[in-house]
């Protein structure tokens, strides 16, 4: 990592003590902010509490900015606008929903009361709800494994096809990238058409070859295959692009040296090519796994969760949005989030360990 | 027999002619340097021998076998790349072992081969390091080790020393030469550095604009340059090339006019066949003898700049017609700026080039 | 010309010679694969120019031309541009006059919202990335990981409180709300990507400029930014593709005036209870594809160069 040698600037001011009233006393501002926000959230209705929390955030942010400016922390100054937007639009809502998961709250009712861990206990152990949740989670796991491995395989093979320079490559590449650019709404709906038992292309082809009536979505296996195929078709180009970027970054002279040294194709791939794409493969795997956890749109469009294809993300949308069980949804979200973060860290740990080994 | 033979090799990229009609043969155990300014086609020629580039026309014969259509894998050659092309994910030892996997030999034997070349090139201690962790000089030695670890038809070096500093270059030059002399394989080295070529090569092929201008031993290309380009390219300081008017030949001497001054220079009898007209007279800077004023047949110039070079002194002087002449004189000979110089060229080191640039020689 | 250079080799059907280059043989093979891969898209585009009545014909009509008799007549349809005009104006209720559908507005919304949020994220994210790269904070890597994590979260975790928050502060249905939301949605990726670009740059030139008395702003704009143009282009394209087609956020926080095309498309084709209007859907999607397709096409070389950086590092 490049570290800009900091221009040694003598500290212009000493930091204010904790209780000193000063525009750059961020410690005091943070303390006040946290205490006031907590009180407001606990005591006041949500729509009033929101504004109070908002004012407190602004206060703390202002203190940080003044502090950074007075002490020449340019890093903080440059980073803070982005952090502010991320905080307002991502981190704050997350903390809010984390808070909500400890309350009983439904978005179509006014009442709200504190229930502690009851929501978590309910979604994990309740006779009716928990069974559905676990089932949806297992389905999601299955989709993650299937779609990600399909995307990685197809994406990797496509990338290998495009790895060399050849005439018209640019125009053919954009053809393969197009599925990624389609709106899921349109491509998903069109897949229902392709799979349609009466009018669809797939059924027409299979019917005219094998005879009889072919209905892909008739069984769980068929429905899952249909969803996995559509998802893999749309997102393999993403994997392809990342892998291709790794492939084209391999210096040409290494392949020339390998040709001179009469290295076999197999050994050449593992010793020369693979080290260049390993990081990007891990990145693709990471991104696609996280996306696969969120799989809902294609399920909604293709099966509406029928044939035992309900995923946790779609289940969550139903609970939170259609049944208005906001806090229960939040509890499920956090269990799911916890799993994704654990998985992510596992990936990063493995990726970094592999890098350190070599 | 480990030989390389190029017959009428031509390479075009679109309408650009990179190499034109090049002929070259390298005998077993011989080291030939391809020397020329950048962009002259020397690297392209090397890559065609290696099979990394397809020749547009002509034949490439390695070890008596025509190799035109064959990829590098089937030519059995070893090459050291300009940027060494070490495999970054493999250790030094694994890098050196890479060419050995093609032959079905056991691990122990591979290790023995690697250890042997590592000893020759003093790489024993760094076999377990990664290429990113070693110095430029070590990388260079690893690249050479990887080339000599097996027994190929021939060796190819692409600017092998260009990335090293001056001192390292010097030691590597003799080290490579020593290694090559034990292998008795045809070797081609591409370089733009004439010192490298003169010190390492048995023969030098000088290239310009895709053509081989002259092939000869280091002594030959220095002492008997075939044309103006070779004359100007080989030797430091550069040979003086003086535009002159050829008047006639008689008594072993050519009469030429510099500006208005007629001078009789000793020249080969072949000059007699030359028609009067423009010629270029080439004289090495060390081939002048400074003589007293009023000596007959001197070339006259005025000292402009004095550059002491240690044992000798380099003088930039200007002729009356405005031409720049470089003269190297012994250190003990004192000259002042502005002082007129009268010089007689050494007949053995004086060359006359006809209007088309070719040397006129018996 | 050497005797063994046959006509086949001249046009490229020889064993690949330059190690990173292949000839027309590869083009032919890849064209086959690409065409098959592109077929579902091609079908959508063809549906967009089909007469509405043929949308669900059995057997399916596949091509607007018989390709000189190669394709049997039963699979061929006569192309029409009618569907494109009905994207913008069509008969909504039985027997009535054609009414404007508002799709010009939705396309406008999509373009404004996507480009504004991707550009905003690019500006904020690039600044932040420069900060992270050149003036590392204590715990720099932890901040970066947290930022990356926000991108890893399922959208649904964020969206419920965002809806509540937007309702509370009146951002529901406004341009500002959705633009800010998408900006945050793109920020993590932008910061991460741009940081790895800045990390790749040598700081020597910057230091020299600083010593010569250039201000920090000048160093950033004159020296740093021009070197990462490829990265900016690549980040822009990735962000655009993802934002352009985003559905869930748009469905839940846009109003009638700020609706984007994916949401409007979903409503247009399934409204009226008559089932999906296939030709209309295809026409909307085809039009909707054009801008992002063109941007990607013109920036695809940067895209390939761009994603070379930014491998998994923690």
Distance (Å) from the alpha carbon of A75 to chain B's nearest alpha carbon? 31
Per-residue pLDDT of chain A in tens (358 residues, 90 and over written 9): 344 444 444 444 566 666 677 777 777 888 888 888 888 877 777 667 777 877 888 888 788 778 777 766 777 788 888 888 888 888 888 887 788 788 887 767 777 778 888 888 887 887 777 788 888 889 999 999 999 999 999 999 999 998 888 888 889 999 999 999 998 888 888 888 888 877 777 777 777 777 767 777 778 888 899 999 999 999 999 889 888 878 877 888 898 999 999 999 899 999 998 888 887 788 788 778 888 888 888 888 888 877 788 888 888 888 877 777 778 888 888 888 788 878 877 877 777 666 555 5
Q: What are the angstrom distances between the C-alpha of B231 and each of A235, B29, B60, B351?
A: 64, 28, 29, 9
Average pLDDT, chain B: 88
Q: To the nearest 5 percent, what fractions of chain C are helix, strand and coil? A: 70, 5, 30
- Taking the CB of residue B120, how many other CB atoms lie within 10 A of it? 17
Sign of the dihedral defined by the CA atoms of residues C147, C149, C150, C152, in that order: positive
* Non-local CB neighbours of A249 within 8 Å, separated by 6+ positions: A276, C308
* Non-local CB neighbours of A153 within 8 Å, separated by 6+ positions: none
pLDDT in tens, B150-196: 888 899 999 888 878 888 888 888 888 888 888 888 999 999 888 88
From the candidates A140, A154, A178, which should be mutated to test the interface with C, based on the most C CB atoms within 10 A? Answer: A178
pLDDT in tens, B234-258: 988 889 988 888 888 877 788 888 7
Domains observed in chain B: 4-233 (3.40.50.300), 240-353 (2.40.50.140)
From the candidates A256, A257, A266, which should be mutated to test the interface with B, based on the most B CB atoms within 10 A? Answer: A257
Point out the residue among A251, A261, A275 whose CB comes nearest to the CB of B89: A275
pLDDT in tens, C167-186: 877 788 889 999 999 999 88
Preceding peptide of C59 cis, ω within 30°:
yes
In chain B the beta strands, taken as DSSP E runs, fall at 4-13, 16-26, 31-35, 57-62, 65-66, 77-80, 154-158, 186-191, 203-208, 211-216, 240-250, 253-258, 261-266, 277-283, 288-290, 299-308, 312-319, 324-330, 340-345, 350-353
pLDDT in tens, A87-117: 888 888 888 778 878 888 776 777 777 888 8
Chain C residue with CA closest to B58: the answer is C2
Which residues 339-358 in chain A show a CB within 8 A of chain C?
340-341, 344, 347-348, 351-352
pTM: 0.78
Domain with residues C103-306, CATH architecture? Orthogonal Bundle (1.10)
Chain A residue with CA closest to C263: the answer is A185
Distance (Å) from the alpha carbon of A269 to chain C's nearest alpha carbon? 13
Give pLDDT, residue A8.
43
User: Where in chain C are the domains?
Assistant: 7-100, 103-306
Give pLDDT, residue B151.
86
pLDDT in tens, C270-304: 665 566 788 888 899 999 999 999 999 988 877 77
Give pLDDT, residue A16.
65
Point out the residue among A256, A264, A358 whose CB comes nearest to the CB of B52: A256
């Amino acid at each position: 990592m490049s570290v800009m040698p900091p221009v040694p600037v003598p500290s212009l001011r000493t930091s204010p003590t904790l209780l000193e009233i000063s525009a750059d006393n961020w410690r005091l501002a943070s303390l006040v902010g946290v205490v006031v926000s907590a009180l407001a959230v606990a005591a006041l209705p949500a729509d009033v509490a929101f504004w109070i929390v908002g004012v407190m955030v602004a206060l703390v942010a202002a203190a940080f900015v003044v502090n950074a400016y007075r002490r020449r922390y340019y890093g903080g100054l440059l980073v803070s606008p982005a952090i502010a937007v991320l905080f307002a639009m991502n981190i704050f809502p997350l903390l809010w929903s984390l808070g909500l998961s400890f309350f009983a709250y439904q978005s179509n009712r006014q009442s709200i009361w504190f229930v502690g861990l009851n929501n978590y206990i309910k979604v994990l152990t309740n006779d009716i709800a928990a069974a559905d949740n676990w089932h949806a989670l297992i389905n999601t796991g299955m989709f993650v494994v299937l779609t990600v491995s399909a995307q990685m395989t197809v994406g990797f093979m496509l990338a290998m096809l495009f790895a060399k320079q050849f005439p018209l490559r640019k125009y053919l590449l954009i053809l393969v990238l197009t599925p990624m650019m389609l709106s899921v709404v349109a491509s998903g709906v069109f897949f229902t058409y392709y799979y349609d038992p009466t009018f669809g292309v797939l059924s027409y082809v299979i019917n005219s070859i094998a005879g009889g009536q072919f209905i892909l979505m008739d069984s769980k296996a068929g429905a899952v295959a249909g969803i996995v195929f559509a998802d893999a078709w749309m997102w393999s180009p993403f994997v392809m692009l990342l892998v291709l970027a790794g492939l084209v970054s391999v210096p040409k002279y290494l392949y020339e040296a390998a040709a001179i040294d009469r290295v076999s194709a197999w050994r050449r791939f593992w010793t020369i090519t693979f080290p260049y794409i390993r990081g990007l493969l891990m990145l693709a795997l990471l991104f696609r796994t996280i996306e696969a956890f969120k799989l809902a749109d294609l399920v909604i469009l293709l099966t509406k969760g029928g044939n035992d294809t309900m995923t946790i993300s779609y289940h969550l949308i139903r609970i939170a949005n259609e049944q208005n069980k906001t806090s229960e949804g939040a509890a499920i979200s956090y269990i799911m989030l916890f799993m994704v973060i654990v998985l992510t860290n596992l990936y990063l740990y493995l990726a970094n360990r592999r890098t350190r080994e070599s | 027999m480990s030989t390389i033979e190029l017959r009428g090799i031509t390479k075009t990229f679109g309408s650009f002619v990179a190499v034109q009609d090049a002929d070259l043969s390298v005998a077993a155990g011989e080291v030939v340097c391809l020397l020329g300014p950048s962009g002259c086609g020397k690297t392209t020629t090397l890559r065609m021998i290696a099979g990394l580039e397809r020749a547009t026309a002509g034949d490439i014969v390695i070890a008596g076998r025509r190799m035109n259509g064959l990829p590098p894998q089937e030519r059995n050659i070893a090459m050291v790349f300009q940027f060494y092309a070490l495999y970054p994910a493999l250790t030094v030892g694994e890098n050196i072992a890479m060419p050995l996997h093609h032959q079905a030999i056991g691990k122990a034997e591979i290790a023995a081969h690697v250890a042997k070349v590592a000893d020759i090139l003093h790489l024993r201690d760094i076999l377990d390091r990664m290429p990113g962790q070693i110095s430029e000089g070590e990388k260079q030695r690893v690249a050479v080790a990887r080339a000599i670890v097996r027994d190929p038809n021939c060796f190819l070096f692409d600017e092998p020393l260009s990335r090293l500093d001056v001192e390292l270059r010097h030691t590597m030059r003799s080290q490579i030469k020593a290694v090559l002399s034990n292998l008795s394989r045809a070797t081609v080295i591409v370089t733009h550095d004439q010192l490298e070529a003169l010190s390492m090569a048995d023969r030098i092929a000088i290239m310009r604009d895709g053509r081989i201008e002259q092939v000869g031993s280091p002594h030959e290309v220095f002492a008997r340059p075939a044309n103006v380009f070779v004359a100007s390219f080989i030797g430091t300081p550069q040979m003086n090339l003086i535009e002159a008017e050829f008047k006639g030949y008689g008594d072993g001497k050519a009469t030429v006019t510099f500006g208005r001054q007629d001078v009789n220079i000793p020249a080969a009898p072949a000059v007699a066949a030359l028609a009067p007209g423009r010629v270029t007279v080439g004289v090495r800077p060390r081939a002048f003898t400074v003589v007293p004023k009023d000596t007959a047949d001197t070339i006259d110039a005025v000292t402009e700049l004095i550059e002491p070079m240690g044992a000798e002194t380099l003088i930039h002087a200007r002729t009356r017609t405005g031409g720049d002449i470089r003269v190297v004189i012994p250190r003990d000979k004192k000259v002042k700026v502005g002082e007129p110089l009268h010089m007689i060229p050494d007949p053995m080191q004086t060359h006359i080039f006809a209007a088309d640039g070719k040397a006129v020689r018996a | 010309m050497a005797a063994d250079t046959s006509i086949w080799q001249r046009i490229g059907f020889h064993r690949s010679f330059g190690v990173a280059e292949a000839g027309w043989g590869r083009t032919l093979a890849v064209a086959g694969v690409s065409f098959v891969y592109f077929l579902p898209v091609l079908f959508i585009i063809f549906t967009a120019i089909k007469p509405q009545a043929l949308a669900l014909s059995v057997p399916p009509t596949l091509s607007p031309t018989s390709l000189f008799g190669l394709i049997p007549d039963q699979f061929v349809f006569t192309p029409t541009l009618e569907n494109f005009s009905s994207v913008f104006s069509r008969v909504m209720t039985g027997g009535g006059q054609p009414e404007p559908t508002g799709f010009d507005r939705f396309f406008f919304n999509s373009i404004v919202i996507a480009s504004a949020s991707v550009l905003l994220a690019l500006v904020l994210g690039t600044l932040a990335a420069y900060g992270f790269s050149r003036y590392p904070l204590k715990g720099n890597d932890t901040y970066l990981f947290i930022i990356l994590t926000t991108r890893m979260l399922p959208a649904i975790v964020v969206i419920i409180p965002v809806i509540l928050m937007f309702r509370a502060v009146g951002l529901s249905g406004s341009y500002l709300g959705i633009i800010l939301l998408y900006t945050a949605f793109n920020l993590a990726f932008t910061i991460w990507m741009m940081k790895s670009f800045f990390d790749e740059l040598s700081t020597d030139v910057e230091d020299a400029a600083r010593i010569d008395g250039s201000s920090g702003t000048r160093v950033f704009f004159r020296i740093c930014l021009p070197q990462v143009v490829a990265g900016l282009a690549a980040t822009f394209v990735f962000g655009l593709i993802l934002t352009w087609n985003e559905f869930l956020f748009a469905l839940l926080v846009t109003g009638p005036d700020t609706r984007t095309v994916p949401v409007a498309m979903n409503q247009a084709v399934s409204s009226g209870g008559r089932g999906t209007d296939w030709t209309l859907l295809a026409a909307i999607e085809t039009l909707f594809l054009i801008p992002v397709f063109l941007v990607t096409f013109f920036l695809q070389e940067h895209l390939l160069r761009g994603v070379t950086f930014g491998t998994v590092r923690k």
